[in-house]
Structure 1
């Protein structure tokens, strides 16, 4: 067996884990694939005699590649989660699921959005240490900080993650709020609509012409009142693991997707996407 063949086999044995790490850190499968490819190029150029532990060496490299990509995003003011053009996973939603494995998948998807709110170092430290048990001393070398500072970054990240609404109980509460919103819209009950909207709700409208933002419950009700004249079919779906709303025309053409944020039992933010080009990139359920 040649050294090149042996090295490729060593890398392939780690590829799946490296891709999972990169996806958790970067939040994008395309970027994760790029990071893994860069890790392979570095591994292929490395003197085999200098790598005693391929798994550990590759974990360090994928971490360094990912932190460089995150910092480059920050320098370009790119926001891959939440604002801008995040990756959205849309799926059917039912009042369950009772199956724990399905719930774990939903929480995992929602966690990606939460990780997007962390700073580059916080995100990398949290993923490597809390999800993949990489020692703080190793992570410190990746982010260029002391072990103590790395532990502090992990603590900050944990506090933010724990405060995020990703638990099954939070999912049930979010469903109830989204369902109440949908029912009020269908009934034309604007008093009930005001009850379910936070007074300072922020509503982003992503259209083919760009993005507009309205703030306030009264403005949101006006937007709903204007939209009720359209003949659409709307129902609750899961968007990145949390309840949202999808709408279709009478012929089954996707018309819009609403990403909903629930806080303290009310809708605190909505991001609605009606841009046909953007909608065409999403795998929406059938109406």
Structure 2
């Protein structure tokens, strides 16, 4: 029986880090494909290195992925940007109760759509400092080396980013509690129960819908409840899914064609934010789970 060679050992060590690196890159870039490309670039650079010269492989890989992400973000900044309301992060739609692939679970964990939208408004260095420090506990000394700033400057960047995301809704409810609230919302909508809708909606709820003609925003429980009730007679069927880790629903027509993807953010037992996509072009770009046979 032969021992593991140096190349195999490096490949094995890299695979142990892959899930974390993809999670870092996804939070930085908001795109699973771009995140996987960034991690693949890190692997290519690692393959050209002498493993013996790397003291801390995890730190080295984080630095490389961080620098790749910074370059991608800076190149995006050079292009015209969509308005804040029109921003739509890449949707990660997975089955709710199945054994989802490990990388999907990592991507979805704690990355609500509202947070991704706000992260997309940050400057590249701000975003990296916040993501690495606040989400992955990377020391400011290491962050400073990645972005070419001092530890104190990196700390200031993270602090500035933190202030910008403070208003983002992040649920502390258990997943089962979140799903129960969303199920109650859908049941009330189907039955036209206006009072039932108001019970599960936060008074300041926001419903943002990405349509083929642009973004439609509805504000307040009364307006959202009135809109939800209008779908009571539609011949559409929905099933529970997770959308970026949040309870959602995938709505299809009688032929099984997806028509709507909806995600709900639940805080303290009430829905505070709804994001739905009805734009056929956007829906076609989403990797949707197949309907069970």
The two structures share one fold, judged by TM-score above 0.5: yes
3-state SS in 2 of match to 1:252: coil
2:255 aligns with one of 242, 251, 254 = 251
CA distance in 2, matches of 1:89, 1:37: 20
Q: Count matched residues.
A: 275
CA distance in 1, matches of 2:56, 2:269: 48
Larger CA deviation: 129-138 vs 224-233: 129-138
Preserved contact between residue 67 and residue 121 of structure 1 (Cα < 8 Å): yes
CA distance in 2, matches of 1:105, 1:30: 12
Root-mean-square deviation (CA), in Å? 4.3
2:34 aligns with one of 31, 54, 57 = 31
2:148 aligns with one of 137, 144, 148 = 144
Corresponding residue of 1:196: 200
Structure 2 vs 1, CA of residues 262 and 131 (structure 1 numbering), >3 Å: closer, same or farther? closer
Larger CA deviation: 186-195 vs 112-121: 112-121
Preserved contact between residue 89 and residue 116 of structure 2 (Cα < 8 Å): no
CA distance in 2, matches of 1:126, 1:10: 29
Q: Where does 1:92-111 land on structure 2 (aligned, <5 Å)? A: 92-94=95-97, 106=105, 109-111=108-110
2:25 aligns with one of 18, 22, 27 = 22
Q: Deviations over 1:17-43 (max 9, x none)?
A: 465243343232322344346557777
Corresponding residue of 1:273: 277
1:112 aligns to 2:106 (yes or no): no
The unaligned stretches of length 5 or more in structure 1 are 1-5
How far apart are 1:180 and its partner, in Å? 0.9
1:213 aligns with one of 213, 217, 232 = 217
Preserved contact between residue 190 and residue 229 of structure 2 (Cα < 8 Å): no
1:87 aligns with one of 86, 90, 104 = 90
How far apart are 1:235 and its partner, in Å? 3.1
